[in-house]
Amino acid sequence: MTIHQLSIFIENRSGTLIKVLDALKEANIQLIATTIADTAEYGILRIVCAEPMRACEELKKAGIAVAISDVFALQLDNKPGSAADVIKLFSLAGISITYIYTFLLRGKGILVFRTDNTDLAKKTIEENQLPYIAEADLTDWA
Amino acid sequence: MSNYFNPEFETLTREQIEALQLERLQKTVRHCMNNEFYRKKFAEAGITPDDIKTLADVRKIPFTTKQDLRDTYPFGMSCVPLRDCVRLHSSSGTTGNPTVILHTKKDLDEWANQVARNLWMVGLRPDDVFQNSSGYGMFTGGLGFQYGAEKLGMLTVPAAAGNSLRQIKFIKDFGTTAIHAVPSYVTRLYEVMKEEGVDPRRDTKLKVLAIGAEPHSEEQRKRIEDMMGVKAYNSFGMSEMCGPGVGFECPEQNGLHFWEDYYIVEIVDPDTLEPVPDGEIGELVLTTLCREAMPLLRYRTRDLTRVLGRTCPCGRNHIRLDRMKGRSDDMMVLRGVNIFPIQIEKILMQFSELANNYLITLTTDEENDNMTVEVELAQSTDDYAKLQALEKEIRRRLKDEILLTPIVKLVPLGTLPVSEGKAVRVEDKRKVYQ
């Protein structure tokens, strides 16, 4: 029900991002979505990519600390209000969204998010039969 | 009134000073034989008190170090029974055993006398009001100046450090004429005065500042004098000798007079431990001449300085030393607090989230000295709250250890410079060293 996301702690300084991207390029890893959340001092670079476990190994080999986390990735209908309808289900269940971002996969909107209650979030997805993507979907596409 | 608090000692000629020093050294060395540590040291060096025949013979005596104080913790260096002691001061002891300094009643009185002598020297008299804006408790700058200012006969306000608004109220309401504080705190006081619309020249009766316990440059002193509109005199002290009082500037402001009726001053090469010529920088080594509870023989202070002269237009022929130029070990002095990098390291290494590489940077930001601790994160994370909580916890634990709150910066693995061999852990970018 979840996909693997890479989280890389980086400094807010010129050259730090390219170090990570170069390492992925060297390893021939296809990026699918990235986002950076920043503070004054540092940021967390979050990456959804093909072959996340191999990407993780390659980054470690390049001396870059990386964390693997499980995040939800729901497929949305391409129409106004679809994100609101989905998020509302979690909100009604009393679940907080920690962060959220979106990307397009085969023309479909994908909503990536993390919550403060993984078990309850899974239950919500099951009960509402929300369409989610699996890791294989990412690798096939790449 | 005399220009001197102790005219009979302050105006001695060089010959008289040296004769007095020899007499007091011989007495001190004999007194040290009441203590097992010194008896053993003398036996190992193959000397007895009778071998001290001239002042130069002081060099036959082995050095004493901070490590000796730690090894004999808590009372192993005492030369009198504990019941003759009335006070102890202790370091925080965070790099091992604390160092404990014991005082008899007479020791406290002699200490107060040195401080009173200094304050009198820069023009303070019994009708002055002295505000001691220095930390109290174990920090000797508190009680040391308190007793000294009282001995001189001034109305003495133990304002302690912090609460600037209250400090300024006291200065105005009590007619404070002199303040003792660490230099960065004087700057802080001035900033708050400015915010409050208080002009120290117009609204206060201040005439003298005593600043010390923190390295500062001549430029910083001048800036402080310009801000406050009064003279600022450099004070040197260390708890091992007693505390403040050991050395102080006279109105000439040309070096600190170290009181040679109380101490034998040597400047040695920190590597060879041989004396260096006057004018050359070396490590300050002090021998106490009047202490009862804990005389210290040839104590290596680790402070670097040089001899500027042995006479002075002020009439005092006590040796003049330059302001401290740094340390011969890795101790940092920040806002009056002594800190060793190992203390920081010890705390950082308790966090499994952190890697081994760290960098301590000391800076002067808007006149305040600050410490930044950068440390590499061993693992990455997806959770911001965890990072912030981690930073907060590191800050809290460091504050417990070093008594100051540093700025903590987490950095990614492999981003701090790793030097060949011994890693550079400290960068001192403070104005005083530039």
Q: Are residues B266 and B389 in the same domain?
A: no
Residue B2 lies in a domain: no
Rounded to an integer, what distance in angstroms lies between the CA atom of residue B135 and that of residue B158?
Answer: 9
Cβ–Cβ gap A9/B378 under 8 Å = no
Instruction: Give the residue numbers spanning the domain of B247.
Output: 7-329
Which A residues 35-64 touch B at CB under 8 Å?
A: 37, 39, 41-42, 44, 46, 63-64
Asked if A112 has any chain B CB less than 8 Å from its own CB, the reply is no
Residues of A in contact with B389 (CB under 8 A): none
Q: Is the pLDDT of residue B118 over 60?
A: yes
Residue that the structure tokens 């008899």 belong to: B104
Domain total of chain B: 2
Least Cα distance to B49 among B67, B63, B28 occurs for B28
- For the stretch B183-220, pLDDT in tens is 878 988 998 999 999 999 999 999 999 998 877 778 78
| Domain co-membership, B249 together with B165 | yes
Are B377 and A65 in contact (CB < 8 Å)? yes
| A92: amino acid identity, one letter | L
Q: Are residues B281 and B346 in the same domain?
A: no
More confident residue, A9 or B343: A9
Prediction pTM value: 0.72
Kindly report the CATH number assigned to the domain that includes residue B378.
Answer: 3.30.300.30
CATH number assigned to the domain covering A2-69: 3.30.2130.10
Which ipTM was obtained for this model?
0.79
- Quick: pLDDT tens for B250-283: 999 999 999 999 999 999 999 999 999 999 999 9
How many beta-carbon contacts under 8 Å exist across A and B?
Answer: 51
Strands A42-49 and A97-105 turn out to be unpaired
If asked whether residues B296 and B356 sit together in one domain, one would say no
Listed in sequence order, the residues at least 6 apart from B363 whose beta carbon sits closer than 8 Å to its beta carbon are B369, B370, B372, B429, B430
B155 in A contact zone (CB under 8 Å): no
Topology of domain A70-133, CATH: VC0802-like (3.30.2130)
Query: In this structure, is residue B265 part of a structural domain?
Result: yes
Residue B92's pLDDT is what?
63
Whether the pLDDT of residue B70 is over 50: the answer is yes
Query: Mean pLDDT of all residues in chain B?
Result: 92
In a shared domain, residues B224 and B263? yes
Of B295, B329, B363, the residue at which a domain comes to its end is B329
**Highest-scoring range by mean pLDDT, A105-109, B169-173, B396-400:** B169-173
DSSP-derived secondary structure for B53-109: -SGGGGGGSPPB-HHHHHHTTTTTT-SS-GGGEEEEEE---TTSSPPEEEEEHHHHH
- Closest-CA distance, A26 to chain B, in angstroms, reads 19
Enumerate the CATH 3.30.2130.10 domain ranges in chain A, comma separated. Answer: 2-69, 70-133
Residues of chain B contacting residue A3, judged by C-beta atoms under 8 Å apart? none
Contacts of A65 in chain B (CB under 8 A): 377-380, 412-413
Determine the residue of chain A that is closest to B353 in CA distance. A65
Helix, strand, coil distribution of chain B in percent, nearest 5:
35, 25, 40
Tokens standing for A84? 């609101």
Q: Do B128 and B158 reside in the same domain of the chain?
A: yes
Together in a domain, B283 and B342: no
Lowest-confidence region among B138-142, B298-302, B344-348: B344-348
User: Are B22 and B54 in contact, with CB atoms under 8 Å apart?
Assistant: yes
Q: pLDDT value at position A140? A: 67
Quick one: which of B159, B175, B164, B177 has its CA closest to B228?
B177
User: Is the same domain home to B48 and B116?
Assistant: yes
Are residues A41 and B379, on separate chains, in Cβ contact within 8 Å? no
Query: Please, which residues 360-399 of chain B have a Cβ atom closer than 8 Å to chain A?
Result: 377-384, 387
Last residue of a domain, one of B329, B356, B378: B329
Is B216 among the domain residues?
yes
CB contact under 8 A, B380 and A66: yes
**What is the DSSP annotation of B351-367?**
-TTEEEEEEEEEEEETT
Q: Which of B297, B329, B361 is the last residue of a domain?
A: B329
Tell whether A18 is within 8 A of chain B (Cβ).
no
**Domain annotation covers residue B1:** no
Residue B434: its pLDDT value, please?
42
